[in-house]
Amino acid sequence: METLTNSPEETKALGKNLAGNLAGGEIIQLIGDLGSGKTTFVQGLGEGLEIKRKILSPTFLIRRSYRGRLNLEHLDFYRLNSPLDLAGLDLDDILGAPKTVVVMEWPERVGLDRGEKAKKIYFEYVDENTRKITQ
């Protein structure tokens, strides 16, 4: 399904909508360039999961964890260069956590995009206010 969004709010609404279909245990991979709206989408998803804290980009931390109706593990591998860089992260624990949705930005930086378990959502910059989101 392909959607054009014309504002950050519309992208958040898509994320919020997806949250309503989640039960925990899902792995969602967001694929697209810098500024294509991935983190914005996660902010809406977090709202849909009833997470009260503000969702910030985890780029510099790699991982941010939130509690809500379901917990959210928000991972961002932009700064990593290879699967070896995942060594310090308890990925099995994160992926196996109960009542938790795992969302990853830049899974391709660490070779995690090749798994089949994850739902992939693609983001494309169209123009300043428009993004194409394919899920």
Contact residues for ligand ADP, defined by CB under 6 A: 5-8, 10-11, 32, 34-40, 57, 105, 123, 129-131
Q: Give the H or E element holding residue 44.
A: helix 38-48
- Residue whose CB is less far from ligand ADP, 25 or 63: 63
Q: What is the dihedral of CA 35, 53, 45, 73, to 10 degrees?
A: 90
Q: Which amino acid does the sequence have at 45?
A: L
Rounded to whole angstroms, the Cα distance separating 119 from 127 reads 25
> Would you count residue 36 as binding Mg ion (CB under 5 A)?
no
Q: Which is nearer to ligand ADP, 81 or 98 (CB)?
A: 81
Please, what is the minimum distance in Å from the beta carbon of residue 7 to ligand ADP? 5
**Cα diameter, the chain:** 39
Between 57 and 71, whose beta carbon lies closer to Mg ion? 57
For residue 31 the two structure tokens come to 């694929």
CB of 25 to Mg ion, least distance (A): 23
Residue 32 or 107: the one with the smaller Cβ distance to ligand ADP is 32
Pairing of β 100-105 and β 27-31? parallel
CB of 56 to ligand ADP, least distance (A): 10
Binding site for Mg ion (CB under 5 A): 38-39, 57, 105
